[in-house]
Chains A and B, each alone.
Chain A
Amino acid sequence: MSVNVQGLRKSYGALDVLKDINLDVREGEFTVLLGPSGCGKSTLLSAIAGLDPINAGRIDIAGIDVTDRDPAARGIAMVFQSYALYPTMTVRGNMTFGLRVKRLPKPEIEKRLTWAADMLQITDLLDRKPGQLSGGQRQRVAIGRALVQQARVFLFDEPLSNLDAKLRAEMRVEIKRLHRELAPTVVYVTHDQIEAMTLASRIAVMRGGRIEQYATPDELYERPATLFVAGFVGAPAMNFLPVILRGGVAELGALRIPLDAYRFTSPPADGTPAVLGVRPEHVTIGGPGVAVATETLFMEPMGADTLGWFQLGAQRLSARLAPQLARGIDGAQTVALDIANASIFDQATELRL
C-alpha cells in the first residue's frame, strides 16, 4: 500500500517543525527519513501515524485519504525508539494487546502470535515481562507487536538507536530479511546514514522541517542535490573546495581546475561563487581527473583503507587510499581530482549546478 503526503505543515506554537512536506512512498518500498536530530523526522512519522494533529496538508494511505482518521484506523503498525512495551504485561500480552482491542477471535490471535514469535525467534520469551529482557530482545518484541497486526504499512522510529553496534548490525539484517519476506511498505526514521544506505530503497534527507532530496541511496551518494545532502551523506565526508566558476574552469586561489568532464545540470553564469565537492575516493594518486600539486599532511589508517590528508593551497583534501599505497607517501605529492564524479553547488542557493 502506498503512502502519500502532500503539503504537510506542522507547528508547535511559533515553531514550524514541518514546512510543506511532500513525500510519496510506493507500495512495498522501504523509505528512510534521514536527517540530524531535531529536523522533524519523528514529527513527520507521527503525522503519518495520526498521533499528532497537523496544521495543513493531506495524507493518503493506499489511495485513501486518512488525514482525519485515528491511528488504529489507518492500517499501520509502528515500532518506537524506546520500544514502549507495556511494562506490566508479558511478552504475550504485549504482542496480543492490539489484537484483543480489535476483538479478533482467539484462535486467530494465537495463530498470529505463534507466527510472529517464530519469525523473530522469541517463542521462549512469551511469558516474560519486558523488565526481564535484554535490549535486543525488547526490540524484537516491539517488532513482533507490530508484525501481528499484519499491517501493510510499517512505521519505524529510530528502532535501533538504543542498541550497541554489534546488535544494531544484527537487527539491521533482521529488518532487511523481514522486509524481503513480507514486502510491506516501510517508512523508517534514522539519523544513522549507514542504516539508511543499507536498508532503504529510497532515502528522504530532511533538514529543518524540509525534505532536501528524495532519491535512491546511489543517486543520493553520487549526485547529491544540495550542499547539505552532500555533506551529510558519506563517511568520511566529502571534500568541499570554495571556488569561483569562470568559463568552464573552477578557480581555487591561483589554481585553475578545468571542469570539462563535469555535466552541469544548469550552466552557471561567469563569476559564480561555488563549492566543488569531491568524495575522498575520487581523490586519487595516478587515477583519472585533474592533477594538482599538494603537500602530504598525515595518514589515518582505517583498516580496509587509509585516509590520506593533503594540503592544497589553503584547503585540506582527504583521499581514500589503499593501505599499501599510503605507506610510501610523504612530502610533495600530486593527486588527481576526478571531476566527472564530483559535485558542484552554487554557494548562495546551495543547490547542485
Chain B
Amino acid sequence: MSVGRIGLYIFLAGAALFFAIPLLIVVMTSLKPMDEIRAGSIFAWPMAPGFAAWVKAWSSACTGLACNGIQVGFWNSFQILIPSVVLSVSAGAINGYALAQWKPPGANMLLTALMLGAFIPYQVILYPMVKIMSNVGLYNSLPGIVAIHIIFGLPVMTLIFRNFYAGLPDELLKAARVDGAGFWRIFWEIMLPISVNILVVAVILQVTGIWNDYLLGLIFAGREYAPMTVQLNLIVNSQMGEQEHNVNMAATLLTALPPLLVYVASGRYFVRGITAGAVKG
C-alpha cells in the first residue's frame, strides 16, 4: 500500500468520525434518563438505555402551549409531503417530456427562464409570494404550503426530466407517432416506463427537500399545519423549565428518520439514476 493510499484511508476515517461522533452522541443521549445526563459526560455510554425520552418526544413533549409531542408535526409533514412530492414530480416529468420531446415553439426560452428560476435564492421572492398567497386566500393553509412546495420544486424537477428525455433518440417519439399514439399515451406507455431510475432520483430529492424544509413551512403553513421541523424547533427552544436534552435528541432523531429511511431503501436506484446517461435499446 502506498503512502498516498494510507493517507487517503486516514482522511476517510477522519471524515467518517467527524459525522459519526455527533450522531453517536445524539443517539446515546436520547437513550439516557435526565439524571444520568446531569451527572455524567456526554461521551459516557448509557448505563440503563431506554426509550422513555423517545416516547415523550413523540407523544407528550410541549411545543409551546400544547403538549402533544412531535407526532402532530409528523402528521403535518406527512400531509404536506405526499401531495407536494407527487404533484411536483409529476409536473416536472410532464414538463420535461413536453419540452424535450415535443419541442414546442419557445421551448428554449422557457428553459432559460426555468434555469433562472432554479438558481434564484428563494429568500428573494418570499415576500411577494406571501402577498400573492394571502391575496388568493391560501396563506397559512395546507393547500397553500403544498402549492409553495410545488412552485419552488418545479424548475429543478423540470430540468432533471428535460435533460433525461433530451438524451433519448428522437426516433422513439417518431415511431410512436407513426403508430398513432398521442401526447399522453406516449408519456404513459413509453416514456414513463423508461424513466424509473430518474423518477426515483426526483422523488428522493423532493422527499428530503420538502421534509427537511423549515423556512417555507414556518412562513406558509400556519400554526395548524406547522411541519415537523418547525415543531422540533419549538420543543428544543421552549424556555419553560429545565432543558430535557434526551427528549430534544429523541425528537431530532424522529424528525431525521424518514429521509434516512428513504435513502436506505432507494440508495441503489439513486446511484443508478444519477449515472443513467443513456437508455440502451
Contact = CB atoms under 8 A, between A and B. Distances in A.
Contacts of B280: 87, 131
Give chain A's interface residue range (CB within 8 Å of chain B).
20 to 34
A97 B178 contact: no
Contacts of B35: none
B52 interface: no
B185 A78 contact: no
A49 interface: yes
A213 B143 CA distance: 66
Interface in B179-218: 179-181, 185, 189-190, 193-194
Given A83-B281, A88-B193, A78 B181 contact: no
Given A77-B178, A80-B174, A98-B178, 18 more contacts: A51-B174, A72-B179, A78-B178, A81-B171, A82-B169, A84-B171, A86-B172, A86-B176, A86-B189, A86-B190, A87-B280, A87-B281, A88-B190, A88-B193, A98-B180, A102-B180, A131-B281, A145-B175
A130 B194 CA distance: 13
Contact of A72 (B169, B172, B180, B190): B180
B223 interface: no
B14 to A, nearest CB: 43
Interface residues of B, number: 19
B281 A72 contact: no
Nearest to B174: A51
B177 interface: yes
B2 to A, nearest CB: 41
A101 interface: yes
A101 B171 CA distance: 18
B279 interface: yes
Interface of A: 46, 49, 51, 70-72, 76-78, 80-89, 97-98, 101-102, 130-131, 138, 145
B171 A82 contact: yes
B178 A76 contact: yes
B175 A80 contact: yes
When A and B form their complex, which 4 residue pairs have the shortest distance between CB atoms, in order from nearest?
A: A72-B180, A98-B179, A84-B171, A88-B193
A97 B189 contact: yes
Contacts of A98: 178-181
Nearest to B192: A88
A89 B177 CA distance: 16
Given A80-B171, A88-B194, A51 B281 contact: no
Contacts of B279: 87
Contacts of B172: 84, 86
Nearest to B179: A98
Interface in B223-253: none
Residue picked from B174, B177, B179, B280, most chain A C-beta under 10 Å: B179
Contacts of B169: 82, 84
B269 to A, nearest CB: 16
A71 B177 CA distance: 7
B174 A84 contact: yes
Residue picked from A46, A88, A89, most chain B C-beta under 10 Å: A88
Contact of A101 (B174, B185, B193, B281): B185
A97 B181 contact: yes
B281 A130 contact: yes
B281 A71 contact: no
A84 B172 CA distance: 5
Contacts of A72: 177-180
A87 B196 CA distance: 12
A160 to B, nearest CB: 15
Contact of B175 (A78, A102, A131): A78
Contact of B194 (A71, A78, A84, A87): A87
